[in-house]
Amino acid sequence: MPPALSTARPMLSTARAKRGTGDWRLETRLKWLGGWVHMTGVFAYAVRRIFTTIPLLVAATFVVFVLVSISGDPLARLATCTTCSDAAYDRLIDLYELDKPIPLRYVGWITDAATGDLGTSTSLGEKPVAGIVAERLWNTALLAVPSFLLIAFLAVVLGVFSAIKQYSIGDYLVTGASFVGIAMPTFFFGLLLQAFWGVWWQDWTGWKPFYVTGKHVASFGDYLASATLPIITLTIVLLATESRFQRAAMLEVIGSDYIRTARAKGLSERRVIFKHALRNALIPLVTLWALDFAGLLGGSVITETIFAWPGLGQLLVSALPNLDLDLVMGLVMVAALLTISFNLLADLLYGVLDPRIRYD
């Protein structure tokens, strides 16, 4: 071999190696740049959503403020009082700012709320509303979080099972149970659980495994005994709807062209279902999850009232008849913020489930 040729080959190999290293670095930089651009788009989208929801939040709280303000007269409590002095009237007028028109009262409330001051509760000893809501929010979360985890897991399992076993006996059983859950009122199912476990089961066996009212958290066992029935009530009612949505979404995805292509390539049915179909079928369910979880954390009025659980829902029921305006508005603000936050989170999760979604 000529000396010149033998010398040129190592040089050519070295040049190719350097070019390969340069291509790898360029590809890495492009990937980093693409990820940065995507994250910038996500951040800009989130900021836009937050600013567009501020007018909606103001409008919603103003409507509730007006409705609660005109629903009753706080001075009516003193109408039948024969020993009350003018100081008592002046105290109520000053407390509720009755000497101001409703729009001005709302401006004062929303200004204080923007700084974190939600006012004081007139029905609970003039305690700060923020502290009361925080305490009750934790109690509600003790029911909402386990209920949501059960709902999300079982909805996916039952929905996927019904879709891949369409028109089978199992599908008919799940569908029938779902229809029963959808048709059954929450209060009826809760009262039925109370009657069965609190009265009938105790009469039959002499043993009462669950508390039917109140919150008991002296130990983890007490928590399970007191929270099980409310959690079951919340789970069954919402699971019935979500499992039907999951089944419909899964059937639509299974009939798509790319699923038929994946099967034609010889992929196993398990891989087709759980790697390719399920991910896209979860997108419609994410919206339901966001709304349901926000609703659960915002307080389940019926369930908490039936089981005497001291959460946000029961707090709202007690605040409305007492015309506790600051407390009602604080609860409305928390519920609205939860709904807005989880809706935004759901929109961002769409991009995780389907990378084709862009936030431009």
pLDDT in tens, 280-291: 888 888 888 988
Tell me if 88 sits within 8 A of 81, measured CB to CB.
yes
In sequence order, which residues have a C-beta less than 8 Å from that of residue 110 and are 6 or more positions away? 58, 61, 62
Helix (H) or strand (E) holding 128: strand 127-128
Q: Does residue 336 carry a pLDDT above 90?
A: no
Q: What is the mean pLDDT of residues 212-232?
A: 92
Reported as a pLDDT band with limits 50, 70 and 90, residue 25 is low
Mean pLDDT of 86-93: 74
What's the CA gap between 309 and 311, in Å, rounded?
6
Domains annotated on the chain, with CATH: 127-353 (1.10.3720.10)
Average confidence (pLDDT) over 260-277: 87
* Banded pLDDT at 232 (limits 50, 70, 90): very high
Partners of residue 127 on adjacent β-strands: 121
For the chain, how many residues are written? 360
Identify the residue with better confidence: 168 or 348.
168
Q: How distant is the alpha carbon of residue 238 from its chain centre?
A: 12
> Average model confidence (pLDDT) for the chain?
83
Closest CA to 122 of 348, 356, 336, 328: 328
Work out the average pLDDT over 47-70: 85
Q: What is the dihedral of CA 31, 34, 39, 43, to 10 degrees?
A: 170
213: left (phi over 0), alpha (psi -120 to 50) or beta: beta
SS3 content of the chain, % helix, strand, coil (to 5): 80, 0, 20
pLDDT value of position 30: 46
For residue 71, the 8-state DSSP code is S
Task: Give yes or no for a contact between 223 and 211, defined as CB atoms under 8 angstroms apart.
Answer: no
Residue range 157-194, pLDDT digits in tens: 999 999 999 999 999 999 999 999 989 888 899 999 99
Q: In Å, how far are 133, 301, 321 from 318, measured between CA atoms?
A: 13, 11, 6
Confidence band of 100 (pLDDT split at 50, 70, 90): confident
Please check the confidence at residue 297 and state whether its pLDDT lies above 70.
Answer: yes
Instruction: Answer whether residue 145 shows pLDDT above 80.
Output: yes
Rounded to two decimals, the pTM is 0.81
